[in-house]
Amino acid sequence: MKCVFFDIDGTLWDYESVIPGSTVRALKLLKQNGHMAYINTGRTRGYVTDPALLALPFDGIITGCGSRIEERGEVIYEHLLSDETAKRAVDTVRRYGFRAILEGPEYLYMDYDDFKDDIYGRKVMRDLGGNRRGLTDNYGKWKISKLSCDTTGCDKHSCYEELKDEFDIIEHNDTVVEMVPRGFSKGAGMRRLCELKGIDIRETIAIGDGANDMDMFEAAGFSVAMGSGSKTAIQAADYVTTGLKEDGIYNALRYLELI
């Protein structure tokens, strides 16, 4: 039996949140063949709500870069930022002009005026619906695991220096950064789940497409990059499958003889 961990964005679905039919078929076959399957995402649980995604036959979900683990709907591990740490982080990034999104297990906190002119920000607010709360309106009342920021035009490296003892910094591109509490990552989430469930980490497979999947690739017994993924992921993986829209998940699981 193998245990397969799947990234969401760019892996299970495209950036319009469309899941290929071949991926749905592949996951059903994977489970029918007795293997285990988990979502492993940097998104916090408050941003993993899509009915089509949650209808897929997963055994559980690791969210927020390993800060929360669910097994068949039951939370078996969770780590939240302390109020003091959250306030310090928010006050610091705002002082440097960052536009922040605070990410939690129930809600994401972001101010409409910060993102109303941002294409991605508007998409996030649209997708969240009732799971969005105002950051300023709820100051200090947040329940969060991590934060992401737009750093356009800001002195980001000085900000990182102030927060480096408490956060690991993941730069997705020149203007988007994810701040994760030190010691937490997709790979750490995999290892924690394996410890909790008595799974041999060597029997795990990680499938992803981006830079924030690297620690998941390192933790797994075998790693697969989507052919449509980033250069970083493709170079790091043990195997490169076809693109997401070219039946990448299905072809990867066939290659691995899991379906």
Residue 61's closest CA among 74, 79, 80?
74
Mean pLDDT confidence for 26-31: 98
Half-sphere exposure of 83 (CA within 13 A, CB side): 4
From 181, 214, 243, give the residue that closes a domain: 181
Whichever domain contains 165, its CATH number is 3.30.1240.10
Q: How far apart are the two ends of the chain, measured CA to CA in Å?
A: 12
Which pLDDT value is given to residue 253?
98
Whichever domain contains 51, its CATH number is 3.40.50.1000
The total number of structural domains that make up the chain: 2
User: Same structural domain for residues 142 and 226?
Assistant: no
33-58 pLDDT tens trace: 999 999 999 999 999 999 999 999 99
User: Same structural domain for residues 221 and 136?
Assistant: no
User: Same structural domain for residues 38 and 118?
Assistant: no
pLDDT of 71 strictly over 90:
yes
Residue 249's pLDDT band (cuts 50, 70, 90): very high
Classify each residue of 173-202 as buried b or exposed e, where b means 16 or more C-beta atoms within 10 Å of its C-beta: eeeebbbbbeebbbbbbbbbbbeeeebeee
Backbone angles phi, psi at 176, to 5 degrees: -120, 125
Q: Does the reported pTM lie above 0.85?
A: yes
Mean pLDDT confidence for 125-141: 95
Residue whose token pair is 């961990």? 5
Residue 212's pLDDT band (cuts 50, 70, 90): confident
From 181, 207, 225, give the residue that closes a domain: 181
Which domain range does residue 170 map to?
Answer: 83-181
User: Same structural domain for residues 63 and 92?
Assistant: no
3-state secondary structure of 176: strand
From 181, 198, 223, give the residue that closes a domain: 181
User: Same structural domain for residues 100 and 39?
Assistant: no
